[in-house]
Structures are given as structure tokens and as C-alpha cells.
Amino acid sequence: MALKQYSKNIGLSYAFTVCMNLSFTHGIWMIYLASRGFSLIQLGALEAIFHITSFLMEVPTGSVADIWGRKASRLAGRVCYALSLVLMYWGPTFWLQILAFVLSALGYNLESGAGDALLYDSLLLDADESRYLSVKGKDELLYNVASIIAFLVGGYLASVDYLLAFGLTVLFGLIGFVVALFFKEPAIREEHKDEQRPSLVKSIASSLRSQLVDSMKVFASTPRIAFLIIFSESLFAFMICLFFYLQNHWTNLGYTTDVIGIIFSLHALVAAIFSVNADRIERIIGQKGILIVCPILLLFTLWTVALTPYSAFFYILNGSLEGLLAPTISTYLNRLIPSRFRATILSFQSMAYSLFMIMIFPLVGLIGSLYSLPFAFALMAALATVLVVPYLVIITRNKKSRKL
């Protein structure tokens, strides 16, 4: 039996996921900033700035992870995230909040491609990549368990003092930094050391340019990668818009932060159940089944949240979509991407998500401010229907869609 050189990365990645997602501010930051006097339009603008930064920096930071290492990228991401929280809590002006959201985006960028790349390549180098869907499902389970704890505790802490929620989140961000110090960098990048790692002669810009050009060639030769990225990230964008604006909607309805935390934790519990069973579900309904079921679930939950008085219940049900989609799409994409370009191309995935959020998120905030958030949710559901229905028609009629 071959020696498993990178097996410790799996356990460390699980621990890192827990620390990263014990974010006690995730479900309350919009409520906090609104209590500081920032308007719904300003909150929408801040989230848009986050995604504009992410859109511009996603691929360069992914290339950084491919060239200098996934470990270094994840370490830098934790530092940026901790600094962003400090600024978000104490920043009294809109301009300082902009800086906070730029740093938050960089923290997200530095993690987004590097995390899955380190996990998949660790399994690949140990000739164990067939376990990835199961490992990713467990990783998503831990993500959701950590989220449940964070939503419950964060909602309670916010009802006592927002400083407690922000301070504890920064603490776990720094613990995640310590965990990341023990990652063993996958040796794949060493195979291309002479041509990929910048030297005193070769400039950093040249290295990045070469990495991006070669990555685009992979895109051109494997169009299924682009299809899966656009499919998944458009769905995630609609789900995240719901998550953030429901914070304000439920506050307007009189829900307290601890009650909102309970709703979000139940959503995460449903997601956890589906994520840990993602490999079983995939075996039963297949890849095409998942690509059909997920958008149908999305439309159902968007319309019921917008048009019924049971928005909390249907949002909790929406967790099934998140739990199923995240590990399966990650598995499909990683099977298609060469290790040398993994972090870079996975960053295109996050880049697509940011592009969708730039287009959708500020619009929902503007309409919610001018009219009402339920009306904005209904328009969002209508937009999703316009996008999803033709897609469903195409995928169900296309005999080749089984191979997507």
C-alpha cells in the first residue's frame, strides 16, 4: 500500500473549515450596520463593492495559490478576514466600511480557489481522489454544523452586545490561521517550479499572465467547466441574496436576532443533512438529475418566500438545495481540471458568482428600499424563472446532457 503523504491535510482542512465558519457575525452584520444608521441602499452598495473586488481579484488570487501555494493563500486570507471584521465593527464612516468590505473580499478570494484545490490535490497525490465527493460532503457537513453553532450563538451574542459576536469571530479566524500553518503543500506545483515560480529574472506579472493564458486554454478545450460554473453560481447568487436581505425583512417583521439565528441554524441543519448524503443522492438520481432538481427547488423556494407568510419555513427548506449543490458541483469540476491550474480555474467559479451578485444584489436592495423587500423578492423570483425555465427545457431535451 502506497504511503499517504497528505492524509493529515484532510483532517486539518476539516478543522480549518470549522474555524472559518464559526462566523458569529455572518447572520447579523446587515442588522448591525443598519442599527449604526447605514441605509438599505448603502448596505446593497457595500455588498456590491465586496463582489466587484472579488470579481477583479478572484482569478489573480487563484493564480497566486497555484504559483506560490495553497497554504500561503489560505494564511493570507485569514489575516485579511480578521482585519475586515475589526474595520467593520469600529469603522464610523461609509468609506471605512468600503475598506472593510474590500479586505473581506480579498480574504474570500484567497481562500475560495485554494481550499478545494488543496483538498482535491491532497487526495489526488495519495491516489485517493475517488473519495473526494464523500470527503467534500463531510466538509460541507462540518461547514453547516459550524454555521448552526455560529447562527445560534451569534444571534444571542448580538442581543447582548455586538462586540462579543465580532470579537469571537476574529478569535476563530486567528485560530484558523494557526491550523493552516500545519498544512503540507501539495507537491504538484514543484513539478513546474522552473517555469511557474517567479525568480529574480522573471517578473511576478509575467508569471500571472502565463498562468491565466494557460488556464483559459483549459476552459476552451473543456466547455463543460464553463457550463457547470455558470449553472451553479447563478443559483448560489439567488440563494445568498435571500440570506442577506431576509435579515432585514425579518427584523422589520419584529423578529429578534436570536430568533433569526435559530431560523438560519435550521437552514444550515437541512443543508448539513443533504451534504453528508450528497454522494448517495448522486448515485440514485445521477448528475443530470441533480442538474434538474436543484433549479426546480430554487424556483419553488424563491416564490414561496416572496408570496407566502411562511418565508422562514421555505427558507429553511432551501437549505436542501445548498447542501446538495455545493459538494456535487465541486466534485464534477475538480474531475475536469488539471491540478496545475486547479486554484486558478476554481477562482473563475467564484468570479462568476461575484458577477451575478454585482448584477442582482444592489438591485434587490434598491427595489426593497423604494417599495418593499417582499416585492423585491417576487421580482427576483421572476428573474430566476426567466433564466431557469429555458435552461430546464434545454437540459431535459438534450440527449448529450447526460455527459455534462
Contact yes or no for 180/16 (Cβ under 8 A): yes
Average pLDDT of the residues of the chain: 83
Distance CA 277, CA 327 (A): 10
Angle at 325 between CA 319 and CA 327, to 5 degrees: 110
Residue 254, CA distances (Å) to 251, 257, 260, 263, 364 in order: 5, 10, 10, 14, 21
In this predicted structure, what is the pLDDT of residue 211?
Answer: 55
Query: Does 68 have pLDDT greater than 90?
Result: no
Beta carbons within 8 Å of 291's beta carbon, 6+ residues apart: 231, 395, 401, 404
In this predicted structure, what is the pLDDT of residue 100?
Answer: 96
| % of residues, the chain, pLDDT over 90 | 32
Residue with the bigger pLDDT between 320 and 65: it is 320
C-alpha cell at 20: 472559518
Average of pLDDT values for 276-289? Answer: 84
In this predicted structure, what is the pLDDT of residue 177?
Answer: 95
Contact yes or no for 82/171 (Cβ under 8 A): no
Give the tens place of pLDDT for each residue, 198-245. Answer: 443 444 556 556 656 666 677 677 777 877 788 788 888 888 889 889
- Rounded to the nearest 10 degrees, the angle between the axes of helix 311-336 and helix 257-276 is 40
Query: Does 12 have pLDDT greater than 90?
Result: yes
Beta carbons within 8 Å of 214's beta carbon, 6+ residues apart: 340, 341
Range name among 78-92, 161-175, 337-351, 367-381 with the lowest pLDDT average: 337-351
Handedness of CA 10, 14, 20, 21 (dihedral sign): positive
Phi, psi (degrees; rounded to nearest 5) at 336? -95, -15
Give the tens place of pLDDT for each residue, 86-105. Answer: 999 999 899 999 999 999 99
Give the tens place of pLDDT for each residue, 159-199. Answer: 899 999 999 999 999 999 999 999 988 876 444 444 444 44
Radius of gyration of the chain measured on its C-alpha atoms: 21
Query: Does 397 have pLDDT greater than 80?
Result: no
Give the tens place of pLDDT for each residue, 121-138. Answer: 888 888 888 888 788 878
In this predicted structure, what is the pLDDT of residue 201?
Answer: 40
Range name among 29-43, 184-198, 377-391 with the lowest pLDDT average: 184-198
Dump the DSSP string for 39-58. -HHHHHHHHHHHHHHHHHHH
Query: Does 403 have pLDDT greater than 50?
Result: no
Residue 282, CA distances (Å) to 131, 271, 274, 324 in order: 14, 15, 11, 9
In this predicted structure, what is the pLDDT of residue 199?
Answer: 46
Among 99, 102, 98, 20, CA closest to 57: 102
C-alpha cell at 107: 480574504
Contact yes or no for 142/15 (Cβ under 8 A): no
In this predicted structure, what is the pLDDT of residue 210?
Answer: 61
Q: pLDDT class for 246, splitting at 50, 70, 90? A: very high
In this predicted structure, what is the pLDDT of residue 205?
Answer: 57
Distance CA 350, CA 330 (A): 12
Q: Which of 21-30, 62-71, 324-333 shows the highest mean pLDDT?
A: 21-30
In this predicted structure, what is the pLDDT of residue 402?
Answer: 45
Among 32, 280, 58, 23, CA closest to 173: 23
